[in-house]
Amino acid sequence: MAKATKKQALGRGLSAILKDTSDINSANDKNANKLVGTIVEIDVDSIAVNPYQPRTYFDEEALRELASSIKELGVIQPITVRKMDGNTFQLVSGERRFRASKLIGNKTIPAYIRLANDQEMLEMALVENIQRKNLDPIEVALSYQRLIDDINLTQEELSTRVGKKRSTVTNYLRLLKLDPILQTGMRDGFISMGHGRAMINVENTEDQLAIYEKILREKLSVRQTEDLVKQLKTGGPKKTKSKIIPSYVKEETPKISEFFGQKVSVSMGNNGKGKINIPFHSKEDFYRILKLLK
């Protein structure tokens, strides 16, 4: 009974609510108060998708699962739409619910109606979608960049609008400096944002791609990728400097070589400890040296 009552409350007829309001396009128009903030069942065919939607990929299996839930329980959370000319609308948020509803053949969908100009529409759509946790890093970065470019926001203002630290906003925006192939790899889930951030300071595109291929080939972690980038920047892995061989070792080493009948080598570390390396060239040679040690 509770479900039926809720559905009935959300199902108020569009014609009743929108009577004499087809020409409303701003909050100052007559009868705008009857329209704004109202939740009504809207014909899905009267709704156009949001051109500012930052999400470019919708998982088909997840959509089918959502569609199954909607078929069973209905659309629990209404979508948000912007009123256009006449009785047409444009999505602000809720495209997954909208797509899933169409997937099961629903003719109407509960919607919360707003009035907005293009700039407000863009900001609402982008900020709304940025808050969602399932956007990939590049989708978030592109949304941030679009807010900066189209709304003329500074990074500081943007961080306030989206409720994120400025450093977080900056880290996302820097991902857009990466080669498009790496950006695609992040969008497809082959590498993480951490991998991408590790490669940001690699200016040469060929070096970026070489590291990317190595990450995929050897399944490198973010930490391993950071180390790889450091090696590239410093010209290679750091080599441990060997301690200078003392004169007494140099003088006596030829005697050791003569004893074993092989040229031996001696190395010493910074801790003062050393190693004598005795090479052998065959099984017989190994046992010959072993016999000398007995």
Which residues are catalytic, by number? 95
From the list 57, 65, 56, 94, the residue with the least C-alpha distance to 77 is 94
On the 0-12 / 13-18 / 19+ scale of CB atoms within 10 A, 2 is exposed
From the list 79, 52, 50, the residue with the least C-alpha distance to 143 is 52
> Which amino acid makes up residue 35?
L
Alpha helices in 84-165 (DSSP H): 95-103, 118-130, 137-150, 155-162
Distance in angstroms (rounded) separating the CA atoms of residues 28 and 25: 8
Distance in angstroms (rounded) separating the CA atoms of residues 111 and 126: 18
- Both tokens assigned to 276: 């004598």
Phi, psi dihedral angles at 47 (to 5 degrees): -110, 125
Distance in angstroms (rounded) separating the CA atoms of residues 158 and 135: 18
How wide is the angle at C-alpha 73 spanned by C-alphas 78 and 19, nearest 5°? 40
Contact at 8 Å (CB) between 42 and 108?
A: yes
Distance in angstroms (rounded) separating the CA atoms of residues 126 and 146: 8
